[in-house]
Amino acid sequence: MAECDVNKSELHKIALGACFLGSGGGGKLETSFTFIKNYCDNLSEDEKKRKIQIVDLKDATAEQSGIVVAYMGAPQKMDCIKCPNAVCEGIKKFMKGKGKLNYIIPVEIGPVSTITACLTAHKMNIPVLNVDGAGRAVPTLDLITYTTNAGASVNPTILCSERNHQVSLEVSDDTGLGAASEMESLARPALNMAEFDQKAGLVMWYFEDVTKLRDNHDTYPSVPGTLTFCQKLGNAIHSKPKDEEFLPYIKELFEEQPIIYPAPAIKEICRGKLSSATTSTAGGFDIGVITIEGEDDPEHLYKIIFQNESLILWDSRSATPLIMAPDLISYLIEEKPFTNGDIMDNGILKKRLKKKNIVVYGIAAPKELRKSESMSKQYMSILNTVGYYGKYVPLK
């Protein structure tokens, strides 16, 4: 079992690592820092003495239960959230009559998603399980493996606002292949309600026996070890190695985690200067394009297309994508990690970031995810929505 001190420095490191591994999404880094500040500034004396307990999946036992938590909605709408009280209230509603809860389970990797799980676990004095359901951040619930491959019911799904307005959603086929898609089609419109304003605490996927998340690795029920990997990677980013030293340094960390990210693990895809970025918010998504001027020639353009998360990277000199989901597209601007939400201001690129140096990295998706037929179909469906109808081109 690992532990994490509950202070801004240590939690910032986790958020930095989760930001780099989120493929541009999973909530804004600056929002996660707000969560951390507000939470740490308001700890009771007893809470200050407790550490966050991070338990490896291999150490969980059959009689232990867990529940998945997150925030759902448009990253640009989450700046006003102070701390995960909405998620805690949703858990209380969900768990009425169910007995003891043993673990909080992260839904995905990302600054807000990962920190939400950590702070919720600490607030409720429950360990957090060292797994996630995607190996990255994802734009829709049907890309999370807890229903598709672990067989957990999506019923009920609780949405909770900051003012404790709660909605409990259920679908008829709660564990079938389309269950998460059905729930997505119910939950996204609910975010348009005035009470939610495009954001909500999310509680779903209850496991009476969390060992289901490790029983069948051929079907990728979860990705183990990702939370502690966020810690290691965030610590590396926090140490601020020089640009030319960064990739070799973190590449060693990735090579130590072959069960999560298989070779080639990580590689530099392109570098240049940020030219522009635009986004619009609709249906709980931030949808947009980031344009990069190539280092060798300002007429040589790269474009990242995103739907909350970065989904595909195009090169103006290439007929095929340089990298695409489910592989991860991550970037550093002036040697610092950002999400797609962090670089935007009122739907366009922040002025202070224009013409700044950016390096884009590709990270290989977990091999189980790459070979999962159901996941491949879901990712291609998402790619279709941003105009790509070709075949998957894996990172090599």
CATH class for the region spanning 246-385: mainly beta
Calpha distance 29→21 (Å, rounded):
12
Structure confidence at residue 260 as a pLDDT band (50, 70, 90)? confident
- pLDDT tens by residue, 41-54: 999 999 999 999 99
**CATH 2.40.390.10 domain residues, the chain:** 246-385
Task: Provide the pLDDT for residue 261.
Answer: 78
Q: Which residues, at least 6 apart from 186, have a Cβ–Cβ distance to it below 8 Å? A: 157, 169, 171
- pLDDT tens by residue, 6-57: 999 999 999 999 999 999 999 999 999 999 999 999 999 999 999 999 999 9
Whether the Cβ atoms of residue 185 and residue 216 lie closer than 8 Å to each other = no
Residue 2, classed as helix, strand or coil, is strand
Name the pTM for this structure.
Answer: 0.94
- Looking at 2.60.40.10, 3.40.50.720, 3.40.1610.10, 3.30.420.40, the CATH number of the domain 2-229 comes to 3.40.1610.10
Structure confidence at residue 241 as a pLDDT band (50, 70, 90)? low
Q: Provide the pairing of β-strand 157-160 with 199-207.
A: antiparallel
Task: Provide the pLDDT for residue 217.
Answer: 53
**CATH 3.40.1610.10 domain residues, the chain:** 2-229
Burial of 93 (0-12, 13-18, 19+ CB in 10 A): middle
Task: Provide the pLDDT for residue 265.
Answer: 86
Task: Provide the pLDDT for residue 215.
Answer: 65
Calpha distance 307→289 (Å, rounded):
9
Looking only at Cα atoms, what is the longest distance across the chain? 63
Whether the Cβ atoms of residue 227 and residue 128 lie closer than 8 Å to each other = yes
- Angle 349-340-352 (CA atoms, 0-180°, nearest 5)? 30
No. of H helices and E strands in the chain? 11, 20
Alpha helices in the chain (DSSP H): 8-21, 29-41, 45-49, 85-94, 111-123, 145-148, 179-190, 226-238, 243-255, 367-371, 373-385
Calpha distance 395→84 (Å, rounded):
36
